[in-house]
Structure formats: C-alpha cells, structure tokens
Structure 1
Amino acid sequence: MSLEFFPPTKEELEQIIEGLKARLEEKVIEFSIDGKNLFLPSVPVISVQEILMTYLQGRFEISIDDRYIWGWDVLTSIAKNDGFDTFTDFSLYYKSKMNSDGVYSGKIIHWTKLKY
C-alpha cells in the first residue's frame, strides 16, 4: 500500500493518515514514499490519536479517540490544522478516501502538543 504522507508544512499542526501501524512508539517518523528514502528529515511525533470519519445519510461526522466531535469551531480547526483552507475542502477530500460503507479510519499524527 502506498501512503499519502508527507513532511508537515508550516500550516499543518497535524496530519491525518491511514495505514500507519508500527514505529509510532519511537516518537519519530522517518519519511519515505513507496519505500524509497527521499533524504527527508525525521520529524518528532508529539502524540497520536485515532480518528473515525463517516458519511452516512448525508451527514459527515468525526470521532476522535471514540469521542464524537461537534461544533463548527472544532471542526474547522481540525480541517485547518490538517492543512485545508476550509472544512468543506477537508470533508470532500476525506469523503473521496472513504470505503464503500462511507467510513474512513486513520490516525492523527500531532507535531505539536495540540490534542482534541
């Protein structure tokens, strides 16, 4: 599986990815794409949270660490912290990544002390 996972930009306080299983306990991520070392710097991981996004019956919903997330301010901050300009852009992107049941499950990799 190929991960869409790149070093964080200045705008990103976190990055949401799927398919990451191991090496997070080391608290450092070494970047590579398709197994090729790109000589990118290792980045310290401050914390990791589980995220579940669903799109069912016309509703886009988010749970983080088994807690339902609601409130426009929180939802827009999640989108902006993941590097998106708007929550609409964020939801459209992740809807396109959902499985046939309308579910996306992944991890939030935090580069700062921010947690939800």
Structure 2
Amino acid sequence: MPRLCAFTSMDRAQKGQSQQAIGRSRGGLSTKIHAIVDALGNPLRFELTGGEAHDSVQGYKLLQAMKLTMKQVLADRAYDTNAIRALLDEKQAISVIQVGKIVERFNITIELSIENVI
C-alpha cells in the first residue's frame, strides 16, 4: 500500500521538511488534497499526500473512518473500485459513483441499488 506521506530528498529532510506531503511525479513536485465534504461543500475530513498517491487509496481510508449509514456518497470515476463499493455496501451507504472507463470499455454491467434514494 502507498505511504500516507511521501518524503522528499534527504537534503529537505535534514532541514526539517520531511513530514510535508510532497511527491515526485513526471511533472515535478506536487501535493494532493483528498477531501470529504458535506452537501454544502464544507470539509468533514481531509488528508494531504504526495502527488503520486492514487485517489482511490486515500478515498478508501477517509471513507472507512466515517459513519455513512443511509448517506449518499457522490464521487467521480477515480473512486470506482471494488474495495470502495464493498465498503459502502458494508456501511449501508448509497453509492453515486460514475462507472470507470475500464468498465465502460468492456461493457461490464454493474447493478446499482437506488432504493431509499429520494
């Protein structure tokens, strides 16, 4: 599993910056803000990671720590993973996640339950 925080080079670590969420990618150094917000956009939880961290890994960790019973979880296709869908089913949450490109490409059908959505 990816680390929660990507550490920079030893030069930066020696200067006391080793705990910063800075990751190296093809575009250079970058940081991602992974956030869960309410319907009004108010932040409920967030995590900073290096730019190379995948959204679904952090999303899973953030969702795992929340009470989601009978709540709707809206997310884009980066969060369309079996692990996240299973977690939402386990927590009895309603997933409103766009189907990923791989699923669309192979015409795989996913049954989504829309019960109790009003």
Question: With structure 1 as the length reference, what TM-score do the two structures score?
Answer: 0.24
Bigger Rg over Cα: 2
Task: Give the strand-richer structure, 1 or 2.
Answer: 1
Task: Give the helix-richer structure, 1 or 2.
Answer: 2
Question: With structure 2 as the length reference, what TM-score do the two structures score?
Answer: 0.24
